[in-house]
Amino acid sequence: MKKTLLAMGVLGAFSSLAFAASNVTLYGVIEEGVLVQKAKHQDTTVQLKSGFDQGSRWGIKGVEELGNGYAVGFILEQGFNVDNGGEATGGKQFSREAFLYVTGPFGRLGAGRTGTLSSGAQSNTILTGWALGTGFGLSSWTSAIGTSFSRVDNAVAYQTPSFGGLKLSAMYSNGTSADENKWSKNNHYYGLGALYNANAIKSSLILEAVDHKDATGDAKKKTQYVINYGFEYNLGTVTPMFAYQWAHQDEGKKTHMFGLSAKVAVGGGDLLAGGRYLFGDDDAIGAEEQKVRAWNIGAAYIYPLSKRTAVKAYAGYADGAKAWKNTEDVAMNGYQVYLGLRHSF
């Protein structure tokens, strides 16, 4: 349960007037567990793993009502590693999200650092259709076999109001990681998406591109295009899901990926299970064989000990073929087993 921030010492920079006018909340997630994994041709490893499913983080968010249906809000969120207390992403004070937005009858418009539409992370994501989401290692929809865009800097994001359960989203980044170069030398992200969530149906369609303008020397990357489609149907105790991804980049990956999964209420907790299959080309390999095949299966069980604490168990297996046959990456060839504890506040 998220608690209203009362300790003035935590946010000394905020005046008492600001506290009176705004609803400011401190929140977070701490997840730590033991991960056993083995990639092809590599040794089996056993390690403590922070944020294997949900990234460990703390954040501050606030909303101020302006009247007449308008409000201004912010989200500041930083990731960290439970293992050593260090930053999850070096060099950033708020590595996960730093976002300022305005809401009203027109929808929501904001700017800052945030997750892309298909990232599965942060306040602007609309990804659906995969029960294991973007966590759980090799079973993540954004693992190495697919193509994904995570968080971007210098972003502007807009989402419409709901029209009978349908919301449209648009996002642009003027420089996915750097903003000191002129426009033609920055990488730019473009995203358009639609999310439908009404009755028992939840579905999304997302079109994204990154133009790789900052490529230099021999790295003549072309624009990368990705389409994600997801569908979920809530039957009560069982929610079957379907997901599909098409990715295309000249001199890079050209792939189709399909996923079937389900969320099932079992024994007071949730069982998440799914399987994926990918085929296509990976021209970036530079080898004679550029055809690729890959599949993986995984299952997780999440059992709540309370409203804020849960135990998580997971097992997954991945197998690559063709040009990925001997790739020493657990996301393409290997297995993972995990047992962990998640606490949110």
Per-residue pLDDT band for 83 (boundaries 50, 70, 90) equals confident
**39-53, 119-133, 157-171, 280-294, range with the lowest pLDDT:** 280-294
Distance from the first to the final alpha carbon of the chain: 6
Q: How many Cα atoms occupy the beta-carbon half-sphere of 187 within 13 Å?
A: 18
**What is the pLDDT, as a whole number, of residue 183?**
73
3-class DSSP state for residue 20?
helix
**pLDDT, tens digit (0-9, with 9 covering 90-100), for 5-27:** 443 344 444 444 344 346 899 99
Q: What is the mean pLDDT of the chain?
A: 90
Phi, psi (deg, nearest 5) at residue 95: -75, -30
Tell the CATH superfamily of the 38-51+110-344 domain: Porin (2.40.160.10)
Amino acid at 17: L
Nearest Cα neighbor of 312 from 73, 49, 123 is: 49
Which sequence spans correspond to the domains of the chain? 38-51+110-344
Decide which of 179 and 287 is more confident: 287
191, 208 Cβ separation under 8 angstroms: yes
**pLDDT, tens digit (0-9, with 9 covering 90-100), for 121-130:** 899 999 999 9
**pLDDT, tens digit (0-9, with 9 covering 90-100), for 84-112:** 888 777 678 899 999 999 999 999 999 99
Which two structure tokens, joined as six digits, stand for 99? 């976002």
**What is the pLDDT, as a whole number, of residue 15?**
40
Contacts of 88 (CB under 8 A, 6+ apart): 50, 51, 55, 56, 57, 78, 79, 80, 81, 95, 96
Global pTM exceeds 0.75: yes
